[in-house]
Amino acid sequence: MANPVKTTCPYCGVGCGVLATRTKEGKIQIAGDPEHPANFGKLCSKGGALAETLDLEDRLLLPEVSCQKVGWSAALQAAADGLSAVREEHGPDAIGFYVSGQLLTEDYYVANKLMKGFIGSGNIDTNSRLCMSSSVAGHKRAFGSDTVPGNYEDWDQADLVVLVGSNAAWCHPILFQRLRHARETRGAKLVVIDPRRTASCDSADLHLALKPGTDVRLFNGLLAHLAAQDCQDSNFVARHTHGMADALASARADAPDIAHLAQACGLSLKDITAFFDLFATTEKTLTVYSQGVNQSSQGTDKVNAILNCHLYTGRIGRPGMGPFSITGQPNAMGGREVGGLANTLAAHMEFDDVSRDRLSRFWDTKTVASAPGLKAIDMFRAVHEGKIRAIWIMGTNPAASLPDATFVRDALEKCDLVIVSDVMENTDTLKYAHIAFPARAWGEKDGTVTNSERRISRQRAFLPAPGDARPDWWIISQVARRMGFAEAFPYETPADIFREHAALSALENDGRRDFDLSGLKDMDTDSYDALAPVQWPVSPAHPTGRKRLFDDGYFFTDDQRARLIAVSCRPPVHTPDKAYPLILNSGRLRDQWHTMTRTGKASRLNAHQDEPALALHPLDAELYDLGANGFAKVSSRWGTLLVRVQITPDQTPGQVFLPIHWTDSHAARAVTGCLVNPATDPLSGQPELKHTPVKVEKWNPDWHAFLLTRHKIMPEGVDYWSYSRQDSCHALELAGQGRLAGSDFLRPYLDLHQDPDTLNFSNPLSGQKRLALIRKDQLALCLFTAHKGTLPDRNWLQSLFSLDKLEEKLVATLLSGQPLDPQAAPGPIICACFGVSKKEILTARREKRALTVNDISHLLKAGSNCGSCRPEIKQLMTGS
């Protein structure tokens, strides 16, 4: 095996190239690939911490049927028999596959082929429904195809970048760095459109904190303004588009004048005018949008409102300009290419007769699905209603990540056959599995992914496969063979699958279908193994890939013209009322990936925020009598959670924010999906994940505590708990109502005071109890509890678990919770890439006279890698 192995990061859609090097000691080191055009050697905190997530703790390593470990053959046969029986008895539509933008293209291709080609139903949908489907629907309406026209160089070259509903500083950090560079070196302007102030706003020239859900109106107002300012590219509009007059009429009706518009969007006249003027006067404008646009009941209209402005000005397909839907998952694009969405067929084909006939011939099957299948939310409804009787979930955790997650759990509970393929054994979804398939994880498997700029890159294995784990494509093919479709699933390697996928994209493609890999269909396996990152289409006309589409004014509609679409603003489906007066927004934190099954393993990624917390404005905190670091019960019509309180002026009064990362493996009651409403966009089926009416109430525990242990312990029956893995120990934050001594979970630990190896302290006045168990000179456990007041900082105590031998003076001070020399306490980590703490930064500011973020980067390296901690360093420097 080559050393280092070139591969691709398994997290976000930036798709950074990674070098995995095996050291002489057999350890894996991860670095950015300097040759990869997505990142040129850089990695963000999550990518940089990949080596720390490769251990086998909590991995699912053996197949299971009814919670019994079994061999592959038994598990595969059970799945095949179960699916075949449901198909025979209830028909193909009684089966559903719910898959993921984190599968590799080869896995995805085979899953789609099995469902749409051989089981014969359209019922395969993907978590990309929650992520990109509004963009897909918007692209198709405007371009006739699901095409992202531009590439990352446009981010370097634009003079104005508008980030709409995107917190790229945290979610696409390496691309955001390019923006920051363009701003610092060339004076490019950045406008952020987001109801809350995010880390991305820190580098922005203008932040429009618009009223949630008013994007369509804002962009309609912009279109009307562009018309008033004579910004139309008349030649482009006349030759290459349709629908301008209707779209403009609709825009004008929606936003008759700027004063009303400002009021409707909750913005100042000054800010709106500044934005419109910048947009009108800057030719090289790039509009980047993400979940604040897509995850809405009017997501598709939001997308088209943005596309309209670019089509009207002809700013598309040329360097430094265009609309740019930035993808979330590493292979969100690959999934779209193979037909992972229920409403498309493979290779960007639709459910028309010609395409179905083409597929039938190519796959040599008579059972190509005749109609689109159920989209994610409807699929789980059908499971709940018993219409779908068998569901196979691969590479996604819907029991946590779908809206109305309690309903989803009920549906899975009722379902006759739930098959789950995952790499971890403790996900919320796996609890419902009748059959569990252990999949090979990143670093153990081979295939391709497509990033946000249409660039196909290889993921390559550099680790031996652990246990009995197998690649997803293999598992699906084996089940297909056992269902009687052996001839259609003969694959031995991912290269076999990729060639077929490329050949299908080329079949009868006379340039009328955007997705074309004809240039790769005859690749031999060695060339596939050596494949360098390349942007599709790869065809005779573009043998080395294509940087931009639509540069020739050719779109993929019947008449080859793009469409401007008439849209008008609608309110969200569920709006706040007396009972639920606040708007719940939800999204991502800097250092965690979704349901934390992997990033949760890396202690330095847990340092940034290690508990689930509700962010809200100080005025709301006052209104609801919530104190910083206290607790809040958050309820919606769909559920109730218990989380910490985080007070911040970054939120607008009336709006609260929850991260999406905590599951039942990490906290007692903090699955954001359990609160979120299941309303969807009527065109795309994408759920409205950013807008749910909620109420918050103060929750007063009678006691709170933390428990640090060398071995992992999971609590039961405690009102509030939150788990995080730390460097050398496992940390639990706990709180409860009633008597502390009455906690069944804590009692055995409290009883440890009788153990001779235990240090003890208690203060009956404050109700504090502290104890530490020392075994063989090492700290084995410590428990600090209090009825009121605060508990000491955990960082120093956590650091003591790494010591082989606790010196006596440490033992003497341990229960005080802080070192004799307070300077020795590390404090929270700010820069996850280099492990630089808040304390070190403040010391450098004080003692080394560091004045700026760059000074800190120079002295301590903090902020010099992915840069996503720079806003926090800046705050420390300014003391704000």
Residues that bind ligand MGD (CB under 6 A): 12, 100, 102, 127, 130-131, 164-168, 170-171, 193-196, 198, 212-213, 215, 290-292, 295, 328-329, 394-398, 401, 421-424, 427, 439, 441, 472, 585-588, 590, 592-595, 597, 660, 672-673, 676, 689-690
Shortest gap between Cβ of 302 and ligand MGD (angstroms)? 8
DSSP state of 680: B
For ligand MGD, the closer of residues 546 and 590 by Cβ is 590
Instruction: In whole angstroms, give the CA distance from residue 75 to residue 691.
Output: 41
Instruction: In whole angstroms, give the CA distance from residue 564 to residue 585.
Output: 30
Instruction: In whole angstroms, give the CA distance from residue 561 to residue 316.
Output: 13
Beta strands in 328-480 (DSSP E): 390-394, 417-422, 435-438, 447-450, 455-459
For Mo ion, the closer of residues 102 and 709 by Cβ is 102
For ligand MGD, the closer of residues 171 and 567 by Cβ is 171
174 binds, among ligand MGD, Mo ion, ligand SF4, none (CB under 5 to 8 A by kind): ligand SF4
Binding to ligand SF4 (CB under 6 A) within 468-527 occurs at none
- Peptide bond before residue 173 is cis, with ω within 30 degrees of 0: no
199 binds, among Mo ion, ligand SF4, ligand MGD, none (CB under 5 to 8 A by kind): none
Shortest gap between Cβ of 36 and ligand SF4 (angstroms)? 10
Shortest gap between Cβ of 172 and ligand SF4 (angstroms)? 6
39 binds, among ligand MGD, Mo ion, ligand SF4, none (CB under 5 to 8 A by kind): ligand SF4
Shortest gap between Cβ of 583 and ligand MGD (angstroms)? 9
Q: Among 5, 9, 124, 734, which residue sits at the site for ligand SF4 (rule: CB under 6 A)?
A: 9
Which residue of the chain is nearest Mo ion when measured via CB? 328
For ligand SF4, the closer of residues 376 and 831 by Cβ is 831
Shortest gap between Cβ of 46 and ligand MGD (angstroms)? 6
For 834-857, the three-class secondary structure string (H helix, E strand, C coil) is CCEEHHHHHHHHHHCCCCCHHHHH
Residue 453: what are its φ and ψ, rounded to 5°? -100, 25
Shortest gap between Cβ of 466 and ligand MGD (angstroms)? 13
Instruction: In whole angstroms, give the CA distance from residue 159 to residue 183.
Output: 8
Q: Which stretch binds ligand SF4 (CB under 6 A): 7-15, 211-219, 224-232, 828-836?
A: 7-15
Is there binding between residue 173 and ligand SF4 (CB under 6 A)? yes
For ligand SF4, the closer of residues 44 and 95 by Cβ is 44
DSSP state of 376: H
43 binds, among ligand SF4, ligand MGD, Mo ion, none (CB under 5 to 8 A by kind): ligand SF4
Shortest gap between Cβ of 129 and ligand MGD (angstroms)? 9
Q: How far is CA 776 from CA 236, 593, 711, 803, in A?
A: 77, 37, 15, 12
Per DSSP bridges, beta strands 655-659 and 582-587 are parallel
Question: Total number of residues binding ligand SF4 (CB under 6 A)?
Answer: 14
For the chain, report the end-to-end CA distance as a whole number of angstroms.
51
Is there binding between residue 174 and ligand SF4 (CB under 6 A)? yes
690 binds, among ligand MGD, ligand SF4, Mo ion, none (CB under 5 to 8 A by kind): ligand MGD
Is there binding between residue 16 and ligand SF4 (CB under 6 A)? yes
Instruction: In whole angstroms, give the CA distance from residue 420 to residue 416.
Output: 13
Instruction: In whole angstroms, give the CA distance from residue 67 to residue 56.
Output: 19
For ligand MGD, the closer of residues 94 and 660 by Cβ is 660
Is there binding between residue 167 and ligand SF4 (CB under 6 A)? no
For ligand MGD, the closer of residues 561 and 594 by Cβ is 594
Is there binding between residue 248 and ligand SF4 (CB under 6 A)? no
Q: What helix, strand, coil percent values describe the chain, rounded to 5?
A: 35, 20, 45
Is there binding between residue 14 and ligand SF4 (CB under 6 A)? yes
Instruction: In whole angstroms, give the CA distance from residue 97 to residue 114.
Output: 10
Q: Residue 32 in contact with residue 42, Cβ under 8 Å?
A: yes
Per DSSP bridges, beta strands 285-289 and 836-837 are unpaired
Residue 494: what are its φ and ψ, rounded to 5°? -60, -30
For Mo ion, the closer of residues 131 and 342 by Cβ is 131
Shortest gap between Cβ of 102 and Mo ion (angstroms)? 9
For ligand MGD, the closer of residues 448 and 597 by Cβ is 597
Q: Among 5, 7, 30, 39, which residue sits at the site for ligand SF4 (rule: CB under 6 A)?
A: 39
Is there binding between residue 831 and ligand SF4 (CB under 6 A)? no
Shortest gap between Cβ of 655 and ligand MGD (angstroms)? 8
Buried b (16+ CB within 10 A) or exposed e, 385-421: eebbbbbbbbbbbbbbbbbbbebbbebbeebbbbbbb
Buried b (16+ CB within 10 A) or exposed e, 485-498: beebbebebbbbbb
Shortest gap between Cβ of 765 and ligand MGD (angstroms)? 43
DSSP state of 464: P
A 10 A CB-CB count for 812 gives 11
- Peptide bond before residue 653 is cis, with ω within 30 degrees of 0: no
Shortest gap between Cβ of 289 and ligand SF4 (angstroms)? 17
Q: Among 6, 7, 30, 47, which residue sits at the site for ligand SF4 (rule: CB under 6 A)?
A: 47
Instruction: In whole angstroms, give the CA distance from residue 203 to residue 190.
Output: 7
612 binds, among ligand SF4, Mo ion, ligand MGD, none (CB under 5 to 8 A by kind): none
Which residues of this protein are in contact with ligand SF4, per CB under 6 A? 9, 11-12, 14-16, 39, 43-44, 46-47, 172-174
